[in-house]
Chain A
Amino acid sequence: MYGWAGQRLRVYLSEGRIVKEPLSEEVRLNYLGGRGLNSKVLFDELKPGIDPLSPDNIFMVGGGPVNGTAALASARWTVTTKSTVAVPGGLADGNGGGDFATKMKFAGYDQIVFYGRSPEPVYLWIDDDHVELRDASHLWGKTNAETNKLLWEELGDREVRVLSIGPAGENLVRMTKVFSNITRSGGKGGIGAVMGSKNFKAIAVRGTGSVKIGKPSEFFQIVKDSYATKMTSPRTLKSMETGTLSTLRGAAIVGALSTRNAQSGYFEGWEKLTSEAFHEAGYQVKHRGCSACPVSCSHYYRVKEGPYACHGESNEYGTTYPLGPKCGIDNLAAILKMGTMCDQLGLDTHSTGAVVCFAMHCWQEGLLTLKDTDGIDLSWGNADAVIELLPKIANREGFGNILAEGSFRASAEIKGSEVCLKVVKGQEVSAYYPGPANNVAQGLAYATATRGADHLRGGVSPNRKLGTPHLEENLGSREAVVRLTRDPRSIEGKGAYLALDQNFRGFINSLELCTSLANGMDDDPELNLVKLAQLVSTATGVEMSGDDLMKIGERISNLEKAFNIREGMSRKDDILPKPFLVEGEGPKGPIGLDEGKFQTMLDEYYQFRGWDQEGIPTRKKLEELGLSDIAEQIGAI
């Protein structure tokens, strides 16, 4: 077999049993790996309606067919489970980097699925063919850095790679992620809490194998060309310097910088938080990349002195906007300290920042006072208050215990706080203020993303990787393609465009290539749908076209949608928070989108996808995707 390792591990935590099994060709070719593979198992094996924090839930980590190869930016992994925040119930997944997925592949596994609940804390030790569950009582309560260090010492190998949760995951906090390489994280919907609920602390893997390539000379020519293009691109060189933090400047200029619980898209203190400000302050130590990636967009930082002295990795947009502008904070050193704390405690910066700013919004509205917050002043911009709150959330202490439930559930405890709530499907709205002067497809993406509002699930800026010919063919006219950029406020064609964008991301996430590719913002113009198909075909030895890959992405999108429908979701859950459905004028241009227009856009999206008016995939569409066997389960007609 080429590309894939061809093997899955099933780990039954309640009994301490481990089963190895081959990965079928049918699953490999229809779902590729990573996200697709995980979503397939979630749909097939999870009983509907179960409590996500019970032993009935399953949790899995998946890799893709190009993990462990030289393909550029091919080091991602996906974790998937039933969400702890979705209402009434839905999928949760997350995608991270580092080199855990590379080592897992080298050890010989494409996917690991966990069932049940261990009676005592355990971790999984994978040493190539040897796999065993080990006692983790000495790791329980430890931070991600401490866990890595202890495991390296115990296993006697600094090259062992660890996927772990922090104390917040152990304490079932619903804004928790899973971490590899200490700080590379993924996981919306409280995946860390699901691991914690299973008394499962970490996976440690030593992989010494390799990946067989189907057509080595052709594959390496594609990879070589891609590296050459990438490493001479001025934008790549800029990415090395700025990482994802460069996004903050653009978001501020277009009015997409989510500010004070997304009450606005413009933050007056943004210039203190840019990559330039970071470098001028001398916080950078060095930058580092994931395996098989020369871009090295992640930065180590150190704040040498003062109340916010800290050191860590990844001063990203995704750590800066939620803990900065969203909380009205313009102190970069304090934000770095908060990001470091979140990484060590195992908290997701996006959702944790969203929950904290929800509480600050409640404070603004007079819904919370000092007696409710353990004496913490939650005024906008109070960085010290956030720093005091983070461990209270992670350890579920006092007021932190209310916030640890996520903003949707916390809102039920704070009378009148519905006006401050910014969630879709129970998941906090992330990254960009929706409905500013940029594309309205972003709002539709937030409303329809299968894991709840999420900036990595499409729609933000035009996806260059789709290419004009492909878009023109699917949108029906050249004018429709032009409208994507020339008329970002127009709803026409946006539903169809978003469906294509989501399908593209579906297969990229399943190949486990970098999110920069999934966003369509990768700066290798040659790496289009055709070239991506050649990359997969030469790696796996299985001929695939760009259309085949898009079809796989569409299959994954439909299966995830079907999972959510089976959990009780319907059209009413594909909606934005009310404040975003009111049109107005913001400091950078028109904001919001009339609900009638939104519903028209949603109709177009459903129609293009071949779904009925309730958003349920039709039997015809399911048959076309080879999913007719699930029609009964979701009431498809």
Chain B
Amino acid sequence: MSIKIDIPSYLQPFTDGREAIEVNGSTVSECLNHLVRQFPDVEKVLLAENGELLEDIGIYVNGEDAYPDELAKPVRDGDELYVLYMIAGG
């Protein structure tokens, strides 16, 4: 299955400047793991040491917020994922 992950500008330094990456997987978790295998540097800005998403990362599937349990969300061929840093408060 081919899934497209759109990469925002501020994460593109971790993906060799690529704006979009094609990955394979049937869940968000599998897709992100495939992304990390292609671009290992991106892991530190997406995932915690225990493999969970960092607390300030938002994942959107075809524009729909995948929260909660984002990593377990199923994806289908042709879906688009978008990764967003969620910052607020202070």
A associates with B: yes
Q: A interface vs B, CB < 8 Å?
A: 233-235, 238-239, 242, 244, 246-247, 249-251, 253-256, 316-318, 321, 430-432, 436-438, 455-456, 460-462, 464, 468, 478, 481-482, 485-486, 488, 515-516, 519-521, 523, 525, 588-590
| A438 to B89 Cα, complex, angstroms | 15
Given contacts A438-B10, A485-B58, A520-B88, 5 further A-B contacts (CB under 8 A): A431-B90, A432-B87, A432-B90, A462-B65, A485-B84
Chain A contact surface mostly: helix
**Interchain CB contact under 8 A, A519 and B88:** yes
Cβ-closest chain B residue relative to A484: B63
| A361 to B58 Cα, complex, angstroms | 35
B41 is an interface residue with CB less than 8 A from chain A = no
- For A482, what are the chain B residues with a Cβ–Cβ distance below 8 Å? 60, 62-63
- For B52, what are the chain A residues with a Cβ–Cβ distance below 8 Å? 234
B34 to chain A, nearest CB (A): 21
Cβ-closest chain B residue relative to A321: B90
Cβ-closest chain A residue relative to B8: A437
9 intermolecular pairs with C-beta atoms under 8 Å apart: A247-B88, A254-B87, A318-B90, A432-B90, A436-B10, A438-B85, A456-B89, A462-B84, A478-B63
- For B67, what are the chain A residues with a Cβ–Cβ distance below 8 Å? 464, 525
B16 is an interface residue with CB less than 8 A from chain A = no
Cβ-closest chain A residue relative to B86: A461
**Interchain CB contact under 8 A, B89 and A247:** yes
**Interchain CB contact under 8 A, A461 and B87:** yes
**Count, chain B residues at interface, CB 8 A:** 28
Tell whether A589 pairs with B9 under 8 Å between CB atoms, given A438-B87, A486-B82: yes
**Interchain CB contact under 8 A, A460 and B8:** no
B6 is an interface residue with CB less than 8 A from chain A = yes
- For A468, what are the chain B residues with a Cβ–Cβ distance below 8 Å? 64-65
| A563 to B55 Cα, complex, angstroms | 38
- For A255, what are the chain B residues with a Cβ–Cβ distance below 8 Å? 10
Cβ-closest chain A residue relative to B11: A253
Tell whether A488 pairs with B8 under 8 Å between CB atoms, given A250-B56, A464-B67, A525-B68: yes
- For A456, what are the chain B residues with a Cβ–Cβ distance below 8 Å? 89-90
**Interchain CB contact under 8 A, A437 and B60:** no
Partner of A485, one of B11, B12, B60: B60
Cβ-closest chain B residue relative to A233: B68
**Interchain CB contact under 8 A, A254 and B10:** yes
**Interchain CB contact under 8 A, B10 and A462:** no
A321 to chain B, nearest CB (A): 7
Most buried by A among B13, B58, B87: B87
| A438 to B9 Cα, complex, angstroms | 9
**Interchain CB contact under 8 A, A244 and B90:** yes
B residues 3-39 near A (Cβ < 8 Å) are 6, 8-13
**Interchain CB contact under 8 A, A590 and B90:** no
**Interchain CB contact under 8 A, A486 and B6:** yes
- For B68, what are the chain A residues with a Cβ–Cβ distance below 8 Å? 233, 523, 525
